[in-house]
Chains A and B, each alone.
Chain A
Amino acid sequence: MMDVDALFRERMQRFSAELIRYGQYMANGGVLMVAVFLCGLLAYYYPSLVQAIPSWVPVPYLLALVYAFFVTKTLHRTFLLEADLIFLTPAETKMDRYFQKTQVYNFVVQSIGLFLILLLFLPVYQGKVGMTGAQGWLYWGVPLILKGWNVYSSWIILRLPDKKRQTRYTLARFILTYYVLAWMLSQGSFLAYQHVPYGAVVWMVLLVWLMIRIQSIVKRHRYQWYSLLEMENRLRLRFYQIANQFRDVPSLQLRVKPRRWLLWTAQLIPYGKANAARTLYLKLFLRSDDLAGIYLRLVVISSLLILILPGALGKLAVIAVFLLMSASQLKGMGGQARHRSQTFLLPINEEQRKAAAVWVRRVLLLVQGAVNLLIGLAVWKW
């Protein structure tokens, strides 16, 4: 007899052990400090940013769009392993209990994220629409209930083998979710005439249709093991990629992006024996999914902040903090464990490798600083 409860406990323990291990590195990485600093900066400028929103902007409907996106986007971690396809499939009918538990897990984790989003935009809603009495309860409660319903229904939709049909049902979920959120946030004025919500009729029809379809999917289809495993692997990889920013994750599969549009930068380095190591390291960087992705994001975000923030002091602080962040991210370059086995593929010795990694890092920081400075000077009121 298979004990699915024990299986779930064991899988959760394994995951939480990893989470705690990498969580420690993340907390020690100085990122916490930067996050606190950014929150402080945001808190300082937030009220004036809210005030700057013109009155013609339909705040409730836009917020509903943002919330509906996060409520509808439901990912399912299942903690499945490759070998489960062989060992667990015989016990498929007993797995329902196991997957109920993973659904609870996913609901809790995604609710925390949703809560943070609701918190982030609360000042906008309070400042532009206002919140009194029962509205406060609805603001927090309705999105979370919708989240629960989305977790439940999207899990069943995952049984469909056809991805196109899945997308259609996801769209239906989004529309249903958006209607409720928009109606709630606009305090009953969405698709309503003299406080009678006519939109609700259409909404009811769509909901009944979806629920009937969902019941028939449960009867007709079983679990799609391969796509469940694929989703689990993708989500696990994402976790490792985040953790990998702080510490080498040995089991991390490397993903590479061709990025042909950036290759010209590597071609600026002249051909020659002396430049082999620099060319190698620059290309390794350009094609890396994690490192270059983070660097590009940091450059874009810092540039945006420089555009938005008033005053020279704020701009300079952003430049400094983001340069520090990039520097700490790029520190690990070239030292990754995965490059160790390749050291004798090319006759480039250790010193040359180290020097090249330092050179690439300097060039990248210089580029970031230059981009920031140029944007800062461009928007400066001369």
Chain B
Amino acid sequence: MSALLEVKGVTGGYSASHAVIEDVSFRIQKNEIVALIGLNGAGKSTTIKHILGLLEPQKGEISIAGRTFFDDPDSYRHAYAYIPESPIYYEELTLWEHLELAAMSHGLSKEEWEERSLPLLKEFRMEAAKDRFPQQFSKGMRQKLMIMMALMVQPSLYIVDEPILGLDPLGIRTLLTWLARCKEQGAGILMSTHILATAEKYCDRFIILHKGRIKAQGTLDELRQSTGMTGHSLDDIYLHLVEEE
């Protein structure tokens, strides 16, 4: 069985002469949440842009459910939902219209759209903002708009970039429980984050990216074994790994 997401030996970046990430390989299977961890500038966002099909790898290949971006760009883009680090939205559309258009463009029926989006509005306590424009929102509310758009589509793969920053504590809890539920239902989730305590609690595996290369990857136990740091937290292991040099 092919993995949900497979990144195979990817080298790439914004220009051909200067590679930001080098020989990055990992897989994400169904029913798991994988954390992508790294310092500022480690290459997390570059990796994610390659997965989204916004950057073209210089070497290597990325496939979602066995298909690359070049095989079929449209179905590749439909296969995932992306929650960006800084919210992207149309100033001209209200919150509800964003949800409607996301539903339309992903091919959801009208009934599915209403069935899924109303509970989301309630859970993220955004019902009052339904007909307002995101320009009047705070950063956290815009982030919630991005999250709701992604969760409503219910894809098999979620790519989540730093979801926690800017969210209020209730929003964080709602997001994480919702993602855990998606995982139970068979989705795979790649989540980039700085907040290691949260990652340790919610993620099944960890990919530690450092200076554009994968420094280590595996479950917490596997990381403990390979570093010989039995009983240590993810925080300790991570700091140990990046401070080695």
Residues of A that sit less than 8 Å from B by CB: 254, 256, 258, 271-273, 275-277, 279-280, 283-284, 286-288, 339, 341-342, 344-349
Contact of B107 among A254, A273, A283, A342 (CB under 8 A): A273
Question: Which residue of the partner chain, among B74, B91, B102, B110, contacts A346 with CB atoms under 8 Å?
Answer: B102
Q: Name which of A254, A256, A288 has the most chain B CB atoms within 10 A of its CB.
A: A256
Judging by beta carbons under 8 Å apart, are A348 and B105 in contact?
yes
10 interchain pairs, CB-CB under 8 A: A254-B91, A258-B133, A272-B104, A280-B90, A280-B105, A283-B93, A287-B93, A344-B77, A344-B82, A349-B77
Tell me which residues across on chain B come within 8 A of A272, comparing CB atoms: 104
In the bound complex, CA of A344 to CA of B92 (Å): 17
The docked-state distance in angstroms from the alpha carbon of A256 to that of B135 is 9
Residues of A within 8 A of B240 (CB): none
In the bound complex, what is the Cα–Cα distance between A280 and B97 (angstroms)? Answer: 9
Given A284-B92, A342-B89: A279 touches B77 (CB 8 Å cut-off): no
Task: Give CA–CA (A287, B101) in the complex, Å.
Answer: 15
Interface pair A347/B110, CB less than 8 Å apart: no
B94 nearest CB neighbor, chain A only: A258
| Candidate in B74, B88, B90 with the most chain A CB atoms within 10 angstroms | B90
Cα distance A239–B159 in the bound complex, in angstroms = 41
A347 closest partner in B (C-beta): B77
Once the chains bind, are B101 and A280 in contact (CB under 8 Å)? Answer: yes
Q: List the 8 closest pairs (A to B, CB-CB), nearest first.
A: A287-B92, A276-B104, A276-B105, A273-B107, A347-B77, A346-B105, A284-B92, A256-B91
Having A279-B101, A349-B77, one finds 16 other A-B pairs with CB under 8 Å, namely A256-B92, A272-B104, A276-B104, A280-B101, A283-B93, A284-B90, A286-B92, A287-B92, A342-B88, A344-B52, A344-B77, A346-B101, A346-B102, A347-B74, A348-B105, A349-B73
The bracket for how many chain B residues form the interface is: 20 to 34
Q: Provide the bound-state CA to CA distance between A104 and B101, in Å.
A: 51
Interface residues of B, Cβ cutoff 8 Å to A:
52, 54, 73-74, 77-78, 82, 88-93, 97, 100-102, 104-107, 110, 133, 135, 149
- Bound-complex Cα distance A276 to B107 (A): 9
- Residues of B close to A258: CB separation below 8 A: 133
- Known interface pairs A254-B91, A256-B133; A275-B104 also in contact (CB < 8 Å): yes
Instruction: Provide the bound-state CA to CA distance between A345 and B82, in Å.
Output: 8
A253's nearest neighbour on chain B, judged by CB, is B91
- Interfacial chain B residues near A345, Cβ < 8 Å: 88-90, 149
Q: Nearest-CB distance from B69 to chain A (Å)? A: 12
Q: Which residue of B lies closest to A348 (CB)?
A: B105
Q: How far is the CB of B76 from chain A (nearest CB, A)?
A: 9
Cα A286 to Cα B97 in complex, Å, equals 13
A338–B140 CA distance with the chains assembled, in angstroms: 22
User: Given the interface contacts A349-B73, A349-B74, does A342 sit within 8 Å of B104 by beta carbon?
Assistant: no
A81 vs B106: C-alpha distance in the bound complex, in angstroms? Answer: 44
Chain A positions within 8 Å of B88 at CB level? 341-342, 345
The CA-CA distance from A279 to B90 in the complex, in Å, is: 13
